[in-house]
Amino acid sequence: MPENAQQPKPEAASGSAREPRDVPRALIGLIEQEGLKVGDRLPPELELVRRLGFGRSTIRETLKTWESMGVVSRNKGAGTRLIAEISTNTLRVALTIKHEADSLLRTQQVRRPLEIESVRIATRSATPEQRLIINARAAELMAVYEAGEDWRPADHRFHNAIHDATGNPLFSQFIEQIQKAFHDIYDAPFGKPHLGQDTIPLHRPLADAIIAGDEDKAAELAGMIIDMVCAETQKISEEHDG
């Protein structure tokens, strides 16, 4: 490394001066400049202090925030690693989900329109290649299911193929995060039965409808699938809270 000095900013001796906004920006600048990828280690805090010209606590506040957003992971002794992409073009928003009686159902209620819309868009605008992939994933899912194995990874891949076909990565991200929140809530209080098992047989006709371009049929099937999950979710909630 040819001796840093990329941010010629140590103008202020002590006290404060710059807007706090600059810390994330400087950090992202360093990451881009250094070409750091997911999995790479960031420089240690004290080096960041030296190179970016901010105080350690200030930098730590940003790093801690990033950790809570899932951008980096931090460990004593080890260091700070990038675990998600971040760049000047990345925008991160955080949600808080209240975990109470019907929060399980609520997550599914929000997921419902997103899944259905993603199916509609995918049916309309998937490329032939994407339809092939969806078909293959559906076949894989049915095979695993009928073999009596754990079908959840295959289910995940199937739905991901649909989300990809929308051409809008936001769908995938949102639904993914909702599911993550769902499982965070779900795993804790209850044992973990295979929620949604009965919906698997409906996945084959769903795939067929998408491939055939039958948007309404696809949307209807997607709705049925998620409604079944909703119903199961509701039953579990009621058993537990009431």
Partner DNA sequence: TGTAAAGACTTTGTCAGACATAGTTTTTCC
Partner DNA sequence: GGAAAAACTATGTCTGACAAAGTCTTTACA
Residues that bind a second copy (CB under 8 A): 57, 60-62, 64-65, 68-71, 84-87, 89-100, 103, 106-107, 109-110, 112-114, 116-117, 121, 168-171, 173-174, 177-178, 180-181, 184-185
CB 48 within 8 A of CB 27: yes
- Say how many Å lie between the first and final Cα of the chain, rounded: 63
112/157 with CB nearer a second copy: 112
Q: Does 39 bind DNA (CB under 7 A)?
A: no
Burial of 37-56, coded b for 16+ CB within 10 Å and e otherwise, reads eeeeebbebeebbebbbbee
Report the partner that residue 153 touches, choosing among a second copy, DNA, none (CB closer than 5 to 8 A by kind): none
Look at residue 110 and give the partner it binds from DNA, a second copy, none, a contact being a CB closer than 5 to 8 Å depending on partner kind.
a second copy
Sign of CA dihedral 128, 129, 130, 132: positive
Distance CA 178, CA 163 (A): 14
- Please select the residue that binds DNA; options are 31, 42, 225, 226, rule is CB under 7 A: 42
Neighbours of 13 (CB within 10 A): 6
As a whole number of angstroms, the distance between CA 27 and CA 66 comes to: 11
Q: Is 8 in the site for DNA (CB under 7 A)?
A: no
Closest separation in Å from C-beta 60 to DNA: 6
User: From residue 150, how far is each of 144, 161, 174, 182, 193 by CA, in Å?
Assistant: 7, 19, 24, 19, 12
- Residue 67: CB minimum distance to DNA, A: 7
Pick one of DNA, a second copy, none as the site partner of residue 113 (Cβ within 5 to 8 A by kind). a second copy
74 binds, among DNA, a second copy, none (CB under 5 to 8 A by kind): DNA
Q: How far is the CB of 103 from DNA (least distance, A)?
A: 27
Residues 78-107 that bind DNA (CB under 7 A): 78-80
Backbone angles phi, psi at 178, to 5 degrees: -65, -45
Instruction: Write down the least CB distance from residue 96 to DNA, Å.
Output: 19
Q: How far apart are CA 106 and CA 161, in angstroms?
A: 25
Which two tokens mark 195? Answer: 């929620």
Residues that bind DNA (CB under 7 A): 12-20, 23, 42, 44-46, 49, 53-61, 63-64, 74-80
